[in-house]
Amino acid sequence: MAVNPVIPAMFLSGVISHLAYFKQGEHHLHGTLYVQFSIGLPAIAIIITVVYGGEPVSEAFVRVILPFGCFLSGLYGSLILYRIFFSPLKTFPGPLGARLSNLWFSAHLSKRDAHKRILALHQEYGDFCRIGSSDLSITHPKAVHDIYGFGSKCTKGDWYDLNLPLMSMHTSRQQATHDQRRRIWSPAFSDKALRGYEDRIKQYQDQLVNRIASFDGLSVNITKWFNLFSFDVLGDLAFGSSFDMLRNSQDHWAIKLLKEGMIPLGWTLPTWLFRVLIAIPGATRGWWRFNNFCCQTLDDRMNVVRRFVPLIGLWLIFNANREIQAHQISYLLYLFLGKTKGSPDQT
């Protein structure tokens, strides 16, 4: 029986698309678009075949899906061979599954204990371990200067693009943008500014000491109380008002949303997959509620006309370029608040 020439042609086109396009540059920002095309195009083709070709649905399904499957076979076949035998990281040791896909590492984090898993991998493979198709974990002490030192050619990984188009100084991957944001932040952490924060912090320090003393020698979950203290201080310095967490002995509802939003990061999903998931309607309702809270709180603070007081938020407002909008400044504050629960950088 003669082979339908469309089948090998689609397989070959899959290989070519990988070599000519998908192997070049970064694609993590286009994951949602790729998924939409992968589902939408075959669906449209099936509908057209049924409506205008008059074929039964089952036959139309086979006629469309078979060539599309051959395209994907060529694409992923070329991708797998490249990652195993031709990737610049091919000589670094690591599990075979990690060489094939970043999903391998995520699949082994049912308890969200990436630090333990990475430690175990380094104990098995040494200071340099390949933990993903394009990811290395490095523990060699001399690598610190080469990666983070002055003049390093290393740049931040795609993990920092999780929340694009929202971006802060911390998540910026472009040096020019980072420098611009750093100039805005710098006055808020000058010696003069830091000394101005001391009196504002002292009241929360006194509240913390009094709270701990009230337990009268009983055991205390000190992590909880330090967290309450930290967020009260950060709320005061960023927004001009405390979250009153020490007073109420519990998290503010916005901080609960912040902590809940950090949980998915524990699975270290590939950036493209994370962005696909947060694009699902309703999946990020809590995140947007928190972001709107930051925007509204900052807008309220900006509209209050009174003398300048030592607040980190006001330093940002007074030093930010007029082109930076309130929602962008609020995201800077989100990253500032979130760093108390932040994820370590992966190298």
Whether residue 323 sits in one domain with residue 201: yes
Band the pLDDT of 318: cuts 50, 70, 90: low
Whether residue 201 sits in one domain with residue 333: yes
Whether residue 336 sits in one domain with residue 203: yes
d(CA 266, CA 124) in angstroms, rounded, equals 22
Domain final position from 29, 52, 86: 86
Whether residue 39 sits in one domain with residue 113: no
Is 166 part of any domain? no
* Mean pLDDT across the chain: 85
Cβ neighbours for 77, distance < 8 A, ≥ 6 positions apart: 14, 15
Is 159 part of any domain? no
Q: Above 60 in pLDDT, residue 342? A: no
Neighbours of 119 (CB within 10 A): 13
Whether residue 219 sits in one domain with residue 287: yes
Structure tokens, 173: 């991957």
Is 170 part of any domain? no
108-112, 126-130, 183-187, range with the lowest pLDDT: 183-187
Cβ neighbours for 218, distance < 8 A, ≥ 6 positions apart: none
Residue 207 · residue 246 · CB < 8 Å:
yes
Whether residue 275 sits in one domain with residue 220: yes
Is 68 part of any domain? yes
Structure tokens, 294: 């930051």
Is 193 part of any domain? yes
Neighbours of 318 (CB within 10 A): 12
Q: How far is CA 321 from the centre of its chain?
A: 25
Whether residue 292 sits in one domain with residue 211: yes
d(CA 232, CA 26) in angstroms, rounded, equals 40
Looking at residues 191-212, what average pLDDT do you find?
A: 90
Whether residue 188 sits in one domain with residue 329: yes
254-258, 271-275, 280-284, 341-345, range with the lowest pLDDT: 341-345
Is 163 part of any domain? no
Q: Give the pLDDT score at 84.
A: 95
Domain final position from 110, 137, 153: 153
Of the chain, the percentage scoring pLDDT greater than 70 comes to 86
Q: What is the model's pTM?
A: 0.79
Q: Give the pLDDT score at 341.
A: 41
Whether residue 260 sits in one domain with residue 275: yes
- For residue 204, what is the domain's CATH number? 1.10.630.10
Whether residue 187 sits in one domain with residue 308: yes
Whether residue 295 sits in one domain with residue 270: yes
Band the pLDDT of 167: cuts 50, 70, 90: confident
d(CA 286, CA 280) in angstroms, rounded, equals 13
Place of tokens 């407002």: 317
Whether residue 317 sits in one domain with residue 226: yes
Domain final position from 70, 86, 102: 86
For residue 138, the 8-state DSSP code is E
How many folded domains does the chain comprise?
3
Q: Give the pLDDT score at 213.
A: 92
Q: How far is CA 276 from the centre of its chain?
A: 12
Is 171 part of any domain? no
User: For the packed helices 31-53 and 57-81, what is the interaxial angle rounded to 10 degrees?
Assistant: 150
Is 162 part of any domain? no
Q: Above 60 in pLDDT, residue 270? A: yes
Q: Which domain holds residue 99?
A: 90-153
